[in-house]
Chain A
Amino acid sequence: ETGVTQSPTHLIKTRGQQVTLRCSSQSGHNTVSWYQQALGQGPQFIFQYYREEENGRGNFPPRFSGLQFPNYSSELNVNALELDDSALYLCASSSGPQSFPTDTQYFGPGTRLTVL
């Protein structure tokens, strides 16, 4: 059983650019959630994908968008990058609503995004 993986590990972009972050969910999981963690803060929920459909969104602007693929891997896209987008981006996978609330979410190692 493979864990949650994310790529790239680190990324440096300049303000106004676009970025795509990737996440491979744990084997058997069909739900992926994305979180943004600013330095010294707890993670903030961005959105969740369940079976390739967006299944809820946090308080983030539309320039944050995502996709989930048939193999349940996922992408997070951020357009028009701003300095405040600098953060650790975490994805988490889980088994889906049928396993809630007993199942935990499994987090990847994160992608550190720096916007200059």
Chain B
Amino acid sequence: KQEVTQIPAALSVPEGENLVLNCSFTDSAIYNLQWFRQDPGKGLTSLLLIQSSQREQTSGRLNASLDKSSGRSTLYIAASQPGDSATYLCAVPSAGGTSYGKLTFGQGTILTVHP
């Protein structure tokens, strides 16, 4: 059974700081890994999807890396801004048989960027 863990559970940083969020998973036989953002009481917004054959993906100030063999992914946020304050979730899908793409999520990292 796949388990996903995120560290830290919460993070508070001053504006402008570079930061790293961590995600680990127990079953390294994954097809991809996604990072999502969730604002309080809202739905999820996909930030980055890394295929299993890739090592990293970049979108603007965000960079996500994937190391399948060690069961780890990191989300790097450069020059953080107050608007980055949200919960960040990582998720990996199952595939084959039933419910392709069923996502197993970590519990999230609550990020607060203060001015």
Contact = CB atoms under 8 A, between A and B. Distances in A.
A33 B95 CA distance: 14
Interface residues of A, number: 33
A100 B95 CA distance: 8
Contacts of A94: 101
B32 A33 contact: no
| Range, interface on chain B | 20 to 34
Contacts of A40: 107
Interface string A75-116: 000000000000010101010010011101111111010000
A105 B101 contact: yes
30 contacts: A33-B99, A33-B103, A35-B103, A40-B107, A41-B107, A42-B4, A42-B89, A42-B107, A43-B89, A43-B103, A45-B103, A48-B98, A48-B99, A48-B100, A56-B100, A58-B102, A88-B41, A92-B103, A97-B100, A100-B93, A101-B31, A101-B95, A102-B49, A104-B46, A105-B46, A105-B101, A107-B46, A108-B43, A109-B43, A110-B43
Interface of B: 4, 31-32, 34, 36, 41-46, 49, 51-52, 89, 91, 93, 95, 97-108
